[in-house]
Structure 1
Amino acid sequence: MSETQSSTPNAPTYAATNIQILDGIQHVRKRPAMYIGDVHSRGLHHLIYEIVDNSIDETLAGYNDIIDLSLNEDGSVTVTDNGRGIPVDIHPEKKKSALELVMTVIGAGGKFDKGAYKVSGGLHGVGASVVNALSEWCEVEVSRDGKIWFQRYHQGVPQCEVQAIGETDKTGTKTSFKPDASIFKNTEFRKDVIIDRMRELAFLNSQLKIVVRDTEGVEDIFHFEGGISEFVKYTDHNRISLVKEPVFISGERDTTMVEIALQYNDSYQENVFSYVNNINTHEGGTHVTGFRKALTRTLNASAQKNDLLKNLKISLSGDDFKEGLTAVISVKVAEPQFEGQTKTKLGNSETQSIVESIVNEHLADYLESNPGVLKTVIEKVKGAALSREAARKAKELTRRKSALESSGLPGKLADCSINDPEHCELYIVEGDSAGGSAKQGRDRSFQAILPLKGKILNVEKARLHKMLENEEIKTIILALGTSFGVDEFAVDKLRYGKIIIMTDADVDGAHIRTLLLTFFFRHMRELIEAGKVFIAQPPLYLVKSGRDQRYAWDDDERTSIIESMKKQQKGKASVSVQRYKGLGEMNPEQLWNTTMDPEHRSLLQVTVENAMEADQIFSTLMGDKVDPRRDFIEKNARYVRRLDV
């Protein structure tokens, strides 16, 4: 360093003393998102899944058949299994109990030794130690070798030696932990989120029973002897199946175990859920590719063999076999290669050929023995092919129309002046009246307004070509600029950084909002996954007392404002309340101040935490079956806070 540099006033120093050396536990606490994704709800629940996954690994190894999960009154969680129990003997190199190493050292675990676990989901070996590091306190009891062994930790640091505290003739591990409130934004676990994952794990492991117990002692027990076949039935229970029972396929090649259950229903959507070693690979991978190729090839060959395509004038494509398909693909792989730390896509090339060969063999035999099922499915596939061809022609007409127009944008769209998508917003607004107020009240530089006329098509009950014939849906597609369809949709061409649904707070508004969300979830889910879709939150009330005017977004806030006003004017001034039944009742200035001004508005971001649960909700609300919809409304009506009836 030169003399001039060293004498620069107030210059920050950078020397050996500035280098921080963090051990594993400290690093986890300093950078928790690197290990669990985030410190919000998703990361919080991930703690439970890490501990449960260790018990699942014991199940996969053949040593455990029950997991007991208890939510405790103090905010802690207890997970108990009857597996072999974490080893407690002294590690020959580290000279510490194996239990302490598993709970406190990042990368310590039995998952790397294939003599201990042939198949495992927790391949990074960070599970229990990360949970321990991010907990205010953690306690582990291990039953093995005739004794109960115990160790307690505070923020990942052992508070005592591993010690025997009793005798037992059982085996297993009991882990209790309380998330650290200094790490997580919210430490309250959601029972519904936990139940969704535990149900999923029980479907995937037919030999396993999982018990979830809440703070009031209410138990939910999950045990499905039918395994993933019951998973498919559960997924499709709001739809009409085209076959009596799901087709179940299983086989093993070179230590890779494959289980697949599938069936076709009367819907126009595809639902394929894939798993590797119980990990949800929502981005798919080689196992899904192998399944799709085998399904298309086998169904096509069987249809040709039985002369079921003789009157079809167009060739079938792989997409035609997706319509109405529900499938669960579960593979157990000894050495899975996941793309990225998040483990959402399988990369093992050999898995594709293994899945292909197993599906080809077993599905061909099934179709040979069930010609009626084959005929029913092929009729469904042919209908999808005809719809695809009609949709292609509709797209071409749309393109020609756009080419003739100067901008290719819908006439009713009031666009913004800047063209940087990250700084632009599109408001999809219900009706011309609200659209007029929004157009006048907006900031024209970055806010675009697209008013809709009436309700859009319910895409849950319509094929692709019918959607593309619907004027409102075509208008939305043109405005977004992303194009449409499996091969053409491109999220990177989106013209707006935010898509904001703004509807009235009445029954019709709720219906229109649900129709729009159904469209985005079924056909542009990437927009939701990218965090681009939002719901506007206009106020429900305007409360006035003299010159004092305040907005309220729900009944509780309205009551609080009224009470506050009465205290400040000492009960003498009158208080009036205006209920906004529609966006059109607000003038442009009011709409801007309350709902569109980024400095003061409140937006709800639409997310998909659980694709299977979201699919269930949309098929319930927008499908053909009435009874499930009525049951859903009756069960959830008490949670509605912002609906005018």
Structure 2
Amino acid sequence: MSQEPVKYDARHIQMLEGWEAIRKRPGMYIGSTGERGLHNLVFEVAGRAVNEVLADRASSVEITLMPDGGVRVADDGPGVHFEDGGDAVGPGLEALLTRMFLGVIPVSRCYPVFSDCGVGLFVANALSSRMVAEVQREGVRWVQEYARGVAVSEPVNAGPAAGSGTTITFWPDADIFTTTQCSFDALAERFMELAFLNRNLDVSLTDERHPSEPRSLRFQAPGGVRDMVALLDEPSAEILHPDIIGLEREDPRMAGTMEVALRWRRSGQQLVRSFANSRPTPGGGTHTAGFHDGVQAAINAYARERRLLTATDPDLGTDRIGEGLTAVVSVKLEYPEFEGSTRGVLGNAAVRACVEQAVLEHLARWLQEHPQQAAAVIDGIIQGARGD
């Protein structure tokens, strides 16, 4: 049986643009159509409001899970202009809701990489059955409604404003998602994490879906990553030393800042959490490598200076030093470089030496200034090493 050759040319190419492309392949934009993708939708919308606080244009963010399945995200900033050019920075709200701005909107290392995808309000709008944008600005309340990414009306003057701010309320599309019920606990964990990593952030999360059992949490962490270490250590009463050792430093060599906190427990596995631009890096990277290098150098130098190690003793290894160690390593970079498609490993080469130097200098100084606590740390490490 003869077969004719299959012809393929430009006529076979299907062009999808805008909201149609997003709704056709939602997983490309938010990772999945399950619960993880649903939460990414919340994070995309909340990210804009969070950045308003971090830029000192607002003081707080409120996220509410509503009884009808909607999610409301509100900030108390000056209110974003609907039209382009209304504000000094970035496009207007209507443009953000209807156009893709990947890599176009100016960002700063101060702003977190909030969701897994970083695709903005347009994607959230396209994947919502309904979205209502409300702006209170200069005494006027403006409202605009969308359906599956398409504007239902022009922005409407809805009367006088009671204050100022921007509120986005959206209803995830049940035709897209396998579930439209967000996990309060999963959202709370990420918002709490962001508060630890951005100490001037004030975020509240409220669940109104069950009127008889409403839940509300507020996240603020003036102690930064030190507070995160304290929380991670909370289940254990076996703290080796009371001080949480912490440092903050800016280093132009890596075009960014670092914040590190650490403390040893009497025993247990090493627990090191790492972040780049507020994004979790479960695979570590150059920032965690630099951290371990610095800790190892400081501990070995102190132990040899105090003759707690003999000339024939080998250096204490990172595995031994890390037993019982709780630490958080956070860097914020102008140009973060992630390895792999999941972006879970930081690859900026300059970061390793910068973090190593900062940790070495700060930990060495802490050991010198706190001899009793230093003795407890070093003795515990050496005894454990000799007992292996």
Q: After superposition, what is the alpha-carbon deviation per residue over 1:238-275, rounded to whole angstroms, capped at 9, x for unaligned?
A: 11111113111111122512111110112320111111
Q: CA deviation at 1:340?
A: 3.8
> Whole-Å Cα distance in 2 between the matches of residues 351 and 144 of structure 1?
42
User: Looking at CA atoms only, which structure, 1 or 2, has the larger radius of gyration?
Assistant: 1
- Per mean C-alpha deviation after superposition, the further-off stretch among 76-85 and 318-327 is 76-85
Contact 2:109 2:277 survives alignment (8 Å): no
CA contact (8 A) 1:102 1:109 kept: no
CA distance in 2, matches of 1:87, 1:290: 43
Closer, same or farther: CA 246–143 of 1 in aligned 2, 3 Å = same
| CA spacing shift, 1:276–1:17, aligned 2, 3 Å | same
Contact 1:90–1:98 (CA under 8 A) maintained in structure 2: yes
Q: Distance in 2 between matches of 1:287 and 1:246?
A: 19
The question of whether the paired residues in 2 share the 8 Å contact of 1:308 and 1:375 is answered with no
- Partner in structure 2 of residue 241 of structure 1: 239
- State the Cα distance separating 1:193 from its structure 2 match: 1.2
Q: Which residue number corresponds to residue 111 of structure 2?
A: 120
Q: State the 1:50 CA deviation.
A: 1.7
Query: 1:314 deviation in Å?
Result: 4.1
- Over the residues paired in the alignment, what is the CA RMSD in angstroms? 2.5
One-letter amino acid of the structure 1 residue matched with residue 352 of structure 2: Q
The structural deviation recorded for 1:13 is 6.3
User: What's 1:456 paired with?
Assistant: none
Give the aligned partner of residue 172 of structure 2.
179
1:278 is matched with 278
Q: Find the partner of 2:193 among 189, 195, 200.
A: 200
Cα displacement string for residues 31-89 of structure 1 (whole angstroms, at most 9, x for unaligned residues): 11122211111111111122222222223323333111101011111111223543433
Could you report, residue by residue, the CA deviation over 1:450-502 in whole angstroms, capped at 9, with x for unpaired residues?
A: xxxxxxxxxxxxxxxxxxxxxxxxxxxxxxxxxxxxxxxxxxxxxxxxxxxxx
Contact 2:142 2:156 (C-alpha < 8 Å) held by counterparts? yes
Residue number in structure 1 paired with 2:228: 231
Structure 2 residue aligned with 1:561: none
Give the TM-score normalised by the residue count of structure 1.
0.54
Does structure 2 retain, via aligned residues, the 8 Å contact 1:232–1:328?
yes
Q: How much does 1:99 deviate?
A: 1.5
1:188 maps to 181
Could you tell me how far apart the structure 1 residues matched to 2:124 and 2:97 are?
Answer: 8
Please give the secondary structure, in 2, of the residue aligned with 1:42. Answer: helix
Tell me the residue number matched to 2:67.
Answer: 73
Q: Could you say which residue in structure 2 is the equivalent of 1:37?
A: 31
For residues 299 and 358 of structure 2, the distance between their equivalents in structure 1, rounded to whole angstroms, comes to: 14
CA distance in 1, matches of 2:347, 2:160: 46
One-letter code aligned to 1:82: D
Distance 1:141 1:54 in 2: 14
1:147 is matched with 140
Report the AA paired with residue 369 of structure 2.
Answer: S
The answer as to 2:153 corresponding to 1:133 is no
Give the secondary structure class of the aligned counterpart of 2:199. Answer: coil
Flag the 1:142–1:13 CA change in 2: closer, same or farther, 3 A.
farther
2:58 maps to 64
Distance between the aligned counterparts of 2:340 and 2:96, measured in 1? 23
Secondary structure, aligned partner of 1:309: coil
1:567 matched residue in structure 2: none
Given the alignment of the two structures, is residue 83 of structure 1 paired with residue 77 of structure 2, yes or no?
A: yes
Distance 1:362 1:99, change over 3 A: same
Q: Secondary structure at the match of 1:386?
A: helix
Q: Distance in 1 between matches of 2:250 and 2:335?
A: 15
Matches within 5 A, 1:327-406: 327-386=327-386, 390=388
**Partner of 1:207: helix, strand, or coil?**
coil
SS at match of 2:130: strand
Partner of 2:40: 46
* Partner Cα separation in structure 2 for residue 73 and residue 373 of structure 1: 52
Whether 2:316 is the aligned partner of 1:322: answer: no
Pairwise CA distance, 1:169: 7.4
- Partners of 1:279 and 1:343 within 8 A in 2: no
| 2:54–2:200 Cα contact (<8 Å) kept | no
| Distance in 2, Cα, partners of 1:283 & 1:129 | 30
Higher mean C-alpha deviation, range 329-338 or range 378-387: 378-387
Matched with 1:297 is 297
Partner of 1:476: none
**Aligned position for 1:602:** none
Q: Which amino acid aligns with 1:253?
A: D
Residues 1:236 and 1:118: Cα distance change in structure 2 (over 3 Å): closer
Unmatched 5+ residue regions in structure 1?
A: 391-645
Write the mapping of 1:249-268 to structure 2, written as runs, cut at 5 A. Answer: 249-254=247-252, 255-268=255-268
Amino acid at match of 1:57: N
Q: What SS does the aligned partner of 2:346 have?
A: coil
Give the whole-Å Cα distance in 1 for the aligned partners of 2:354 and 2:180. 43
Of 6, 17, 24, which residue of structure 1 is paired with 2:18?
Answer: 24
The answer for the alignment partner of 1:569 in structure 2 is none
Please report how far the alpha carbon of residue 15 of structure 1 lies from its aligned counterpart in structure 2 after TM superposition. Answer: 4.4
Shift of 1:308: 1.9
Check the 8 A contact 1:141/1:149 in 2, yes or no: yes
Q: Percent of pairs identical after alignment?
A: 35
Give the 3 Å change call, closer, same or farther, for CA 326–72 of structure 1 in structure 2. same
Equivalent-residue separation in structure 1 for 2:327 and 2:279 (angstroms): 16
Q: What one-letter code is carried by the residue in structure 1 that aligns with 2:233?
A: D
Which one has a larger percent strand, Structure 1 or Structure 2? Answer: 2
More contact order relative to length (CA 8 Å, sep ≥ 6): 2
**1-structure distance, mates of 2:290, 2:139:** 47
For residues 6 and 109 of structure 2, the distance between their equivalents in structure 1, rounded to whole angstroms, comes to: 52
Count of matched residue pairs: 374
- The verdict on how the C-alpha distance between 1:311 and 1:183 changes in structure 2, with shifts beyond 3 A counting, is same
* Preserved contact between residue 25 and residue 106 of structure 1 (Cα < 8 Å): no
1:331/1:170 CA distance change after superposition, 3 Å = farther
In 2, the alpha carbon distance for the partners of 1:210 and 1:338 equals 27
1:421-432 to 2 correspondences below 5 Å: none
The answer (yes or no) to whether the contact 1:263–1:327 under 8 Å persists in 2 is: yes
- After TM superposition, the runs of 4+ consecutive aligned structure 1 residues lying more than 6 A away are none
SS at match of 2:338: coil
Question: What are the within-5 Å matches in structure 2 for residues 526-537 of structure 1?
Answer: none
TM superposition shift of 1:91: 5.1
Distance 1:247 1:122, change over 3 A: closer
